[in-house]
Structure 1
Amino acid sequence: MSDEERRDSLADQAAAWVPPWARPRPPATDPSAPPDEPAADTDEPGAAPALPDAESAAGPGEPDLGPAEPDPHGVASDEVDAAATEVGAVTPPTAGPDLGAVTEDTAGESGAAGDVPRRQSAGRRRATAAPEPAPELSDAELRGALEAILLVVDEPVSELVLAQVLDQPAERVGPMLDEIAAGYTTAGHGFELRRAAGGWRLYTRPEYATYVERFVLDGQSVRLTQAALETLAVVAYKQPVTRSRISAIRGVNCDGVIRTLVTRGLVEECGTEQDSGAFLYRTTTLFLEKLGLNTVDELPPLAPFLPDDVEELADATR
């Protein structure tokens, strides 16, 4: 047999090869029953072709060639069978995931029928979850926390800041501060809790001021001059006020005194006058803190300190 005829025979075998899953299943036979006679060839449509065995694969009337010789072109019969399996054979469909199925927990979230639900990852669910509310402190714990913070503050602290630090509602912080202040006063402590500069801070009681002054100053006193005190008083009662207005009230130039008060943090600029463009000055929160005041409205009135003949003095200066 020539090489071309041999290749044609291999191609015929590959075309006639039927995969195992497409072959007809033989009927169950009874061992006691006589062997069936070979079935006659039928041309019924849909009948599966008979599988050629190895001896009859070469076709009728052809001699047995024995084992296949190596193909001079480098193609073996087993490779041809494999090619026929990949190209000509029909593989059965494999079962895949049913993307149309909607799970029980996401059936309500799917908009239209057949939509594929999108599951949210566990980490994302944790990130978008609402934060747990902070545990509410008892009255004793809230009181102790407020006292601890007030001991270390270096300036008055507002109720809102304390509520944010303790993560508690501001409606509880305000009444608790009032209760703490009343308790210190009733117990007769040497310190008190009071409002100052829009916040709360611990202060020593006025009746013990001489002892505190003796301890803090220890022979060293840093006091404002008379000119600085007068200028500071004018700013406190006339604020916001310009330097020219202060100089007119005092009768002397006060530029140097204003610079001193600004340096010590008792006075600050607060804009300019609309008509003249001159700088305006006002007192600072440090001024309120040093005097123990909450607002400038708590300054004592000037009427009791004015002389009786103030109008005559005003006319004399003119």
Structure 2
Amino acid sequence: MKTKVKGELDVCYHCSSGEISETSSGYVCRTCGTVQRTMKFGSKAFFEKTQFQYKIISKTTIGNVGERKMATESGKMQFLNKLDAIITHNKKVLNRASSLAETILEKLGRSKKDSSIILNKFIEILPYIRSGTTFRNPEKCIPWIIYFYYKEANIVIDLKTLLEVSEIEKRKFVAFRKKMELFWSTYKTRDRKKYVLTRIQGIVGYGILYNQSKKVLNKFWDFIKDSKEEVIAGLVTGISVTLLKREKLTLSSISRSLNISPSSLQKSIQRTLFVPLGIEDEVKGFRKRVEILEESGIFKDL
């Protein structure tokens, strides 16, 4: 016969005695002989003081810390747990990157089929980006990959729209481009002239003005090639508009189409043409500067 340990609720419901014994007929009060209803066990081994058999303590483990460390497979288990955590994390990152690429492409009006190419490029360059840096985050890296991927393919992506639909900042542009050029070799060797002509075509379409812009671009490429593609497109278009007397197409509208400022074009014509050609410039205004260049005869064979 086993005698139960007395607890707060382990008493006879008839006489409140704590002398309860287990028999073949059930639990019986030794004081009054009453057979008890279902009893609740109290335990000090695996349950809290005020908890009972039906409520298990959370985070209950088998053995103490020392015993678990002494287990023959403990080292292997730690390695497998770490490996599992790494694999799970990487999988989560790739899932986020894939989903983000599809969302941004949809908002940019591009095909979701390109998301697989964007994801593969992300996987390719990820090992080159140091852990703990901003661009290992898919939310910061994927938008720039999309931008430069389409730029390499000579497809125009509006940077302003990209900034609006993503979590990137324009000031991070230069930082990412410098890193990207280290591991995206095909971007450095892309056909920049073709991209510039694509931007020009987006402003003026095809026709006389486009053909004139193409001639200007080819003639002065060595002078202007170090500028941004958007600035080159604006500079060449602005010169062509002035030479052909197309006054309806203003410098402001050209700059607005390329998301650049008119002042950047005025500075560009000074830096890339006036200074290298040794032409003194005391006048202000883009159109007047083009007229000075025309008077010097450098546009004679266009």
Q: Which has the higher strand share?
A: 1
Structure with the higher fraction of residues in helix conformation: 2
Question: Which structure is larger by alpha-carbon Rg, 1 or 2?
Answer: 1
Higher RCO, 1 vs 2 (CA within 8 Å, ≥6 residues apart): 1
TM more than 0.5: no
TM-score bracket for the superposition, by shorter chain length: under 0.3
**What's the TM-score, normalizing by structure 1?**
0.22
